[in-house]
A and B are shown apart, each in its own frame.
Chain A
Amino acid sequence: MMKTSTAPGSTVVILLGINHNTAPIEVRERLAISPARLADATRALAHQPGIREALILSTCNRVELLTVQDASQSENPGTLNFLNEYLSIPVTDLKPHLYEFREREAVRHLFRVASSLDSMVVGEPQILGQVKEAYTTGREVGAVASTLEGLLQRAFTVAKRVRTETQIGSSSVSIASVAVDLARKIFDSLEGKTVLLVGAGKMSELAARHLIQQGAASILVANRTQSRAEQIAKDFNGQVIPFDHLYEQADRADIVITSTGAPQKIFGRSHGQHFLQRRRNRPMFFIDIAVPRDVDPGMNDVEGCFVYDIDDLQQVAQAHLADRSREAEAAEVIVTGEVDKYLQRLQSLNAVPVIQSLQQYAEAMRQAELRRSQSRLSTLTPEQREAVEALTRSLTAKFLHHPLTGIREAARQGDAQTLAELERLYTGQSNSKSDPPTDE
């Protein structure tokens, strides 16, 4: 555990928040801060008494207030005050849902959030962008200074490392994105591909939207209710195919998404053979989201036809989710290592003034002793003077070696007491305020 220095001017990192695990949507939506209000809210938080730096992360699944506060305050009044005053939410209402992390645990939580290990869908990529937006806003309003700057930059590096070294985000876990992934396994790039929507359903529209985002060029819509088909076609800037002409025109599509409520199959095996023949064997991908199914599973046996129904897609999504959980374990190891490294670096930085102070003290003492012996050394030749200079330097360096090693080690272990003791022992003072010796 990182030790909190209580020296005047020292600070503590505190993270206070709620997320999808601790609070229901009714509570989260009361606390949510819209992007338009984020800058103002961050500024208001940063101006609370005792808060030196601040950042607010507000997404649909979490609201977190990351602050750097004066360490002298044992409670967290500034943040609670902000909740009361700015968001007008009584703290008593929130208390059961709030979590608070300090120092090491706050750093660890931030790294986990940025790496998407704390997300509802582990490995989802949006959270890193949201953390970056919060950081940018914090910087813009002047609420992010050196401590949060270093911490956030490290969090981004950790998140990138987790993405690169594990496969936590490599597989899709939603039905729509699984469909897109499968389509990419058939067509590689979806650019220029045509998608046919047969029937209207929320999930099929979502899948179509995903395919368009990935570059699919045109959408054809066939629905028994012509007006509904026209509405969907308008939404997607697509083209309506009369349902009666479905079989004549379906081969224009590379990807067919079916979601009708028809009690019997719409596409049979023979349709697949016919389509493939007209397409000169260019593959077709059928995504059958309907229950009961619209596409005869036998069509999957036709060379060039690939049929996936809702169960197939769900199985892939669930398997990917299990993969992500396994990868998350590896990611947790990376995060723990990075937290240790970050805190050690911070501690080493804390030791720098002590080391500098000790070195300056020793050098001043060496110079003073040389000046005192000046009259006795005046008969020496320049070469002999240089030798004496080198000798005193070497003696000083050798004498300092063990104390400096001890200081670094104490800093690495976060042992503030030993650090202060070593400083007092070797310089006669503490808090890096040692005065160099004067000539006697």
Chain B
Amino acid sequence: MSLLWLRVAVLLYAFASLAVLPAALYDRPRWRHIAIPATTAAIFFHFVSLVEMLNAAHHRLPVDTHEAQSFLSLVLAIAFLFIYGRYRAISLGIFLLPICFLLGLLPAFRPGEEATAFPHHLHAGWIFLHVALLLAAYAALFLSLLASLLYLVQERRLKKKSRGLTWLPALETTDQIALKTLLFGLPCMTAGLLIGTVIAQQTIGPTYFLDPKVLLSFAMWLAYVAMIFIRRHSGLRGRRAVYLSSFVFLVVLAVWAANQLSVVHRFAAP
């Protein structure tokens, strides 16, 4: 049943991805009134499918790549709705909604196996929290990068006095989104890494901390903190902010990819 709801959610994401185009590009309120409810409905069904999935198999966690993708998709969709509610920046949906659709596509139509690679069922709740918090931090970083890129494009457009791309959000809006998502991501990442550290300490022991993936994760955290410090301290915006966000995002991608190589910390096969 959870798959059925997930499929409904994915189809709604696809529909919202199309509806958001006229809503954002041509400022058509009628389409906005379709895109936003469609996204809300998609989030609802996505959430229902997630809850059903976790209820059906007590030990089952979003720890394989497909499940993690699906969860990330849900977080991004919620973030989009939140950003729309706060800043009315519907144009972010042009990018976020298709990503939600694509991230949800494989888990919905080619789901993973039932078994999870993580055997320590006693920690299931904490593991879920660990994964959820880190995925939220990744989503926040991605949103920050996207907002920084949109800032850069809008800045260029205004400087060149170009008449195209009038749908881009205002500079201050994208700047706020970029900074606030980062600030939201920091506690998520910190808490996620701390929980992971405590669990690893109890189940694997100190050798866990010698794993390259784990070391890279802490490097990622440091880069994240440094980025926030620089942005807040110097009011970094525009081109240099994009470079910085891109660098940290690359580190995050490296950490994500390291899941496939790590001995002690890896995704279950889908």
Contact = CB atoms under 8 A, between A and B. Distances in A.
Q: Do A and B bind?
A: yes
Nearest to A302: B159
22 contacts: A164-B28, A164-B29, A167-B27, A182-B158, A184-B170, A185-B154, A185-B168, A185-B170, A188-B169, A188-B170, A188-B171, A279-B235, A280-B234, A280-B235, A282-B235, A283-B171, A283-B172, A283-B237, A303-B237, A306-B158, A308-B161, A319-B163
A315 B161 contact: yes
Interface in A347-397: none
Q: Choose among B155, B161, B239 the residue with the greatest number of A CB atoms under 10 Å from its CB.
A: B161
B236 interface: yes
User: For the side of the interface on B, what is the size category?
Assistant: 20 to 34
A188 B172 contact: yes
A304 B237 contact: yes
B30 interface: yes
A304 B238 contact: yes
Contact of A187 (B30, B155, B168, B172): B172
B243 to A, nearest CB: 13
Contacts of A187: 170-172
Q: Chain A interface residue count: which class?
A: 20 to 34
A186 interface: yes
A186 B237 contact: no
Interface in A301-340: 301, 303-304, 306, 308, 312, 315-316, 319
A237 interface: no
**What 7 A-B pairs are tightest by C-beta distance, nearest first?**
A280-B235, A188-B170, A281-B235, A188-B173, A188-B172, A187-B172, A186-B171
Given A185-B171, A186-B172, A187-B171, A316 B30 contact: no
A14 B170 CA distance: 48
A182 B161 CA distance: 10
A313 to B, nearest CB: 10
Given A167-B26, A188-B172, A300 B237 contact: no
Contacts of B170: 184-188
Contacts, number: 55
Contacts of A88: none
A281 B236 contact: yes
Interface string A282-301: 11000000000000000011
Interface string B13-30: 000000000000011111
Given A185-B170, A188-B170, A281 B161 contact: no
Interface string A171-191: 000000000001011111100
Interface in B166-180: 168-173
Given A188-B172, A283-B172, 14 more contacts: A164-B28, A167-B26, A170-B27, A182-B158, A185-B158, A186-B170, A186-B172, A187-B172, A188-B171, A279-B235, A281-B235, A306-B158, A315-B161, A316-B163
Nearest to B26: A167
A337 to B, nearest CB: 17
Nearest to B236: A281
Nearest to A300: B159
A304 B159 CA distance: 9
Nearest to A285: B158
B160 to A, nearest CB: 9
Nearest to A254: B172
Nearest to A280: B235
Interface in B1-41: 26-30
